[in-house]
Amino acid sequence: MNVFSRQLVPLVLLCFAFFTSNALAQLTAGTNTEAINIAIVRLEQRLNELAQVVGKITSTNQYAPYDTAVDKRNIDKEIEALAGNKEKLKKQINQATGSINTINLNIDRAKAILQSIGQYDIELSGIERDADNLVQLLKNPINQIRVSKKQRDKLPALLADIEKVDADLKEAKIKQQQLLNDQKSDLKAHTLWIKALTGVLSAKDDVGNRRLTTEESRLIGQIDGYQRQIKQLREKLHNDRQQLTLSAIQDNQDELFFNEQMAWLTKLDLNIINALYSNDNLLNADKNLLATLPENELEKRLRLAKSNAQLLKQSQTVLSRRFDRLQRRIEQLPPSYELANGFKERENLLKRQQLTLNDTQIKISKTLSKQRKQSLFKWKPLYADNAMINVVKKIPQSLRLIAYQVQISFKTLFQHVWEKPGSIIATALLLLVIPLSGIRLFRRYLNAKPQIKNSRLGLVTNARRLVFVLKKNYLVVFILLFIIVLVTISGTPYPGNQIVRIVTYLLLVNVVWFSLMTTACNKDGLPKGVARHSNLSVLLLTISATIYQLSQISGDNLPATSIYENIVFIAVCYFAYVIKKIMLYYWGNTVDKPITLRWRVTGLLMLTPPLAIMAGVAGLIGFNHAAWLVLHHTVIGFLFLFIVVLGLGTITDIRRFAKIQCIKRFEHGAFIAQDVISPIANILRLIWLFVATKTLFSLLGWDRENFFIGGFLDVVERPLFHFGESPINLFNIAMLLVAVYLIFKIGQWFKTFSYRWLYRKISDLGIRNSLSIFGQYFIILFGVIITMQVIGIDLTSLAVFAGALGVGVGLGLQDIAKNFISGILLLIERPLRSGDRVILDGSEGYIRSIGMRAIKLETFNKQEVIIPNSNAINNSFTNYTHGNAVSRTVLYIGAGYDCDPMKVETILRQVIEQTDGILKDPAPLVVMWEYADSAINYRLQYYLDLKHSSVLRTKTAVLEAIWYAFKENDIEIPFPQRDIHFRDDLKTKITSGE
């Protein structure tokens, strides 16, 4: 804990003792005369501050009565004047609606002022009680002697001032109550006015409504008629089928089909009418009317237009499908122009309505976008016309008001606590002891486990650090949390409860932050200069934000609030600059770190401080609304990315810890760690990203109702083409690609997992490999089918694709198909297996894998040869290890004619028996093979297990052993000998030396 934190502890304790003593002072009377003098002075100051506040309330907050507040008689007169103009009626309704919103705001403001008056009344009662206590103390002769006459004379004046302030408070309360009643009367009058206007407007639409009602009745009657005919035809076909001829049955079936289609079309007409005309007023897209509507009303109309457009789109899709079925059956029906024209008419109607709704959406979207741009880039001229000087002059008054509000709030808290001190304090202590005891037990658990205590995992390190911070500041954190719990359970009214919470949070945040920075300096080596700047930036940010919030809660609406807001922007820039330094210290050195998802998210996280600085600068310039909007999204984005990084780091730590424990505790721990724990960790990462992203979108309001998100979804969901009867859009394509990627990953994992675990008891590696590959194929095929069903692709449309694929196979894909089918045959018949030594397609080596298209063969020169599967099916090949891995080797050894054959055979048998790797069964064989030109040849044959022995190494060992054995026993290995004869003339030249 640094110096500031150590000084903060006694300060908080002193504040707590002061508030406690202030509450107890109401029950105990002191005899210290110096305290009496100070109490009189403080009492006078408190009364003066309260009088100023009450005087301000009585002189402000006056609301002018509305001219449009009309009674029953002038309502009738206005209605007569407006009855003939529908547009004026709508305009009057909109104006009256705006007036009602303003009246509601005034009502809320009057209620808040009445609540503040109630708090001031409580404060005045406390002042009066303290004054009465002082009067009782001054009745003591000793106190009268020690207290000056000037101070004694102040008490009657204070009592008179208290009565005056009390009368002002009562007058202000009566005035505010009267204003509240007036506003409620105006609200009632405006409600009657809107009701009357709406009634007239509804009366003007009666003709259209009656026409609509008549149309609905006509359609319902037609549906009933069709239903009756359908019922009669079905009963006739069911009951009289034996008496009817085939032609009569066909005619009745055709008539039944016709009536079913016409009934469905009539129901479609009825649904279109109900969907479109029931919300005719809300879909009014007049530009002048839209410009006068508020933003929330425009959003409501835009959502309604989109929902109706979606309904029309669905209706059109169903209509198209029905029409296609009608076309397929048209050859079996007699010509029905009425039915075909019915489908065409509905299709044209739906297209016209869609165009109308699209035009409505465009108009509303443009108006809404214009309003948002105006609101977003609205400039607030703070420094114009010497406004800064006037604002600065009002800062002391604003700070005094804020301090007074804080004082009243804390006194109100203790007064509510003092009403039931035992139960409230006991409940608060109980609510605090339970979580703090849990933290204590968790700390003991961390220290009790050696493998956890000495662990280097980030999760454990952060948990230990948090527990360490709480332990070092246990008393301070306990007191602050105790105050917060008291506010919650004592029932302190607004705004006192909010003010106490804000001040307490200010102290709590600073205590925790200073402790974290001290720990970072001691444990992580964070530079002390950076830590000091971070402490200063957090202190400035929290204090400025607290003052800004308190100035808004106080309801004073002083221009000084703008100064506090700008100070907050400055503090945000300073804090973001320091946080950037801290982030660079911890995460800046990423050169030697692997490029993982966690570090990519960390890179995005480091972009948030510059965004916060830009937002703060924009706020200082005067674009406050845009600055707060950017800060709001930046803070949520920072928290989102930080939580994502923390979650990914936690999952990585858990995965590492689980792998270590598996390797230590299980026989096949390495396989479990690789094939089970790692995939589960990857799935948890994806789930964590999905949950965090969904939460982020929810906090930011980025759903389909959002203007930009809704427009983006409209683009990606717009059909690009149709696959059979299924529309394909960008969203379907993206989901299909993601699903296929995941399916192939899952298939690859299942292949490895099944090979190592599901089929581990199968000793034949070829069978294990074949079964695992078949499982991979099945997972991929099944996953693709399920994905296409979920996305909405009709699998019956694949028949056309399969036919086209057959033609393609016949023309250009026959080699690929042949190799694929050959691969399946190889996996089923298994003439080749992974690890077999073969001679295939002119190459000799070992089979490494059998894929969907080709075989991978590794030669003795470590060259990888890719051989199509069809070559193994169509051509012959040699497999040395197909039935078993035993192979025979034959050697021919020559010995001189003067050597004993029996001795040579014995030596050769001894050499074979003494050589490692040669099998005893089948037994090796040594025979005299033939009489050659210069030697007797002996034949040696022996057998090797190719899985455990090498042909070349064993052959080398045998030949070396034979050479040494022959040399030791003086057995000659003959070699060809030649005699050289010189000619006479050449011999003469050699002799003479020429």
Distance of CA 94 to the CA centre of its chain: 41
808 has a pLDDT exceeding 50: yes
Taking a C-beta distance cutoff of 8 angstroms, is the pair 261, 327 a contact? no
pLDDT at 226: 76
Contacts of 522 (CB under 8 A, 6+ apart): none
pLDDT at 949: 81
- Among 321-325, 424-428, 902-906, top mean pLDDT goes to 902-906
Query: What letter represents residue 365's amino acid?
Result: S
Tell me the average pLDDT across 684-702. 80
Give the integer Cα–Cα distance in Å for 736 and 729: 11
Supply φ then ψ for residue 834, to 5 degrees. -65, 130
pLDDT tier, 208 (very low <50, low <70, confident <90, very high otherwise):
very low
23 has a pLDDT exceeding 70: no
Give the integer Cα–Cα distance in Å for 279 and 134: 71
Q: Which residue has the higher pLDDT, 11 or 564?
A: 564
Per-domain residue ranges for the chain?
A: 1-22+395-558, 31-204, 214-376, 707-832+873-879, 886-968
Give the integer Cα–Cα distance in Å for 540 and 578: 12
List, for residues 833-860, the tens digit of each pLDDT value. Answer: 777 888 888 888 888 877 777 888 888 8
Q: Which residue has the higher pLDDT, 444 or 669?
A: 669
Q: Maximum distance among all alpha carbons in the chain?
A: 168
pLDDT at 584: 83
875 has a pLDDT exceeding 50: yes
Q: Quick one: tokens of 147? A: 């207290």
List, for residues 597-628, the tens digit of each pLDDT value. Answer: 666 777 777 888 888 888 888 888 877 778 88
Q: Quick one: tokens of 328? A: 């397929």
pLDDT at 477: 74
pLDDT at 649: 76
Q: Which residue has the higher pLDDT, 63 or 228?
A: 228
- Of 2-11, 692-701, 866-875, least confident by mean pLDDT is 2-11
Give the integer Cα–Cα distance in Å for 245 and 250: 9
pLDDT tier, 210 (very low <50, low <70, confident <90, very high otherwise):
very low
- Using CA atoms of 484, 489, 493, 495 in order, give the dihedral in degrees to the nearest 10: 20
Tell me the average pLDDT across 961-972. 88
Tell me the average pLDDT across 97-123. 69
Give the integer Cα–Cα distance in Å for 864 and 846: 10
8-state DSSP, 285 = -
798 has a pLDDT exceeding 50: yes
For 55, the 3-state DSSP assignment is helix
Tell me the average pLDDT across 502-525. 83
Neighbours of 374 (CB within 10 A): 10
pLDDT tier, 65 (very low <50, low <70, confident <90, very high otherwise):
very low
Taking a C-beta distance cutoff of 8 angstroms, is the pair 129, 87 a contact? no
How crowded is the C-beta side of 114, counted as CA atoms within 13 Å? 15
Burial class (CB in 10 A: 0-12, 13-18, 19+), 761: exposed
Give the integer Cα–Cα distance in Å for 135 and 807: 111
Nearest to 204 by CA among 270, 273, 272, 281: 281
Taking a C-beta distance cutoff of 8 angstroms, is the pair 510, 534 a contact? no
Query: What letter represents residue 277's amino acid?
Result: Y
pLDDT at 977: 67
Query: What letter represents residue 646's amino acid?
Result: L
pLDDT at 338: 62
List, for residues 898-922, the tens digit of each pLDDT value. Answer: 888 899 989 988 888 888 888 888 8
For 878, the 3-state DSSP assignment is strand
pLDDT at 22: 41
531 has a pLDDT exceeding 80: yes
Supply φ then ψ for residue 381, to 5 degrees. -80, 90
How large a percentage of the chain has pLDDT more than 90?
A: 1
Taking a C-beta distance cutoff of 8 angstroms, is the pair 446, 453 a contact? yes
Which CA distances in Å does 232 have to 229, 238, 263, 825?
5, 10, 14, 60
pLDDT at 25: 37
pLDDT at 480: 78
1 has a pLDDT exceeding 50: no
How large a percentage of the chain has pLDDT more than 70?
A: 62
Give the integer Cα–Cα distance in Å for 752 and 672: 12
Question: Computed over its alpha carbons, how large is the radius of gyration of the chain?
Answer: 47
Give the integer Cα–Cα distance in Å for 983 and 994: 15
Mean pLDDT over all residues of the chain? 72
Nearest to 268 by CA among 213, 229, 322: 322
Nearest to 229 by CA among 192, 195, 254, 204: 254
Contacts of 458 (CB under 8 A, 6+ apart): 649, 650, 652, 653
Give the integer Cα–Cα distance in Å for 778 and 772: 10
E strands present in 761-853: 837-840, 843-850
Tell me the average pLDDT across 973-992. 65
Taking a C-beta distance cutoff of 8 angstroms, is the pair 702, 687 a contact? no
List, for residues 572-603, the tens digit of each pLDDT value. Answer: 999 999 988 888 887 765 545 555 666 677 77
Nearest to 429 by CA among 476, 489, 473: 489
Q: Cis bond leading into 65, ω under 30°?
A: no
Query: What letter represents residue 499's amino acid?
Result: I
List, for residues 433-443, the tens digit of each pLDDT value. Answer: 776 676 666 66
pLDDT tier, 555 (very low <50, low <70, confident <90, very high otherwise):
low
Specify whether domain 886-968 bears CATH 3.10.129.10: no
Taking a C-beta distance cutoff of 8 angstroms, is the pair 541, 575 a contact? yes
Burial class (CB in 10 A: 0-12, 13-18, 19+), 807: exposed
Distance of CA 133 to the CA centre of its chain: 61
Beta bridge partners of 727: 722
pLDDT tier, 365 (very low <50, low <70, confident <90, very high otherwise):
confident
pLDDT at 723: 67
Which CA distances in Å does 655 have to 660, 671, 680, 877?
9, 14, 9, 48
Which CA distances in Å does 137 have to 125, 157, 737, 988?
18, 17, 87, 160
pLDDT at 878: 86
989 has a pLDDT exceeding 70: no
List, for residues 927-953, the tens digit of each pLDDT value. Answer: 998 988 888 899 999 988 877 888 888
Give the integer Cα–Cα distance in Å for 171 and 165: 10
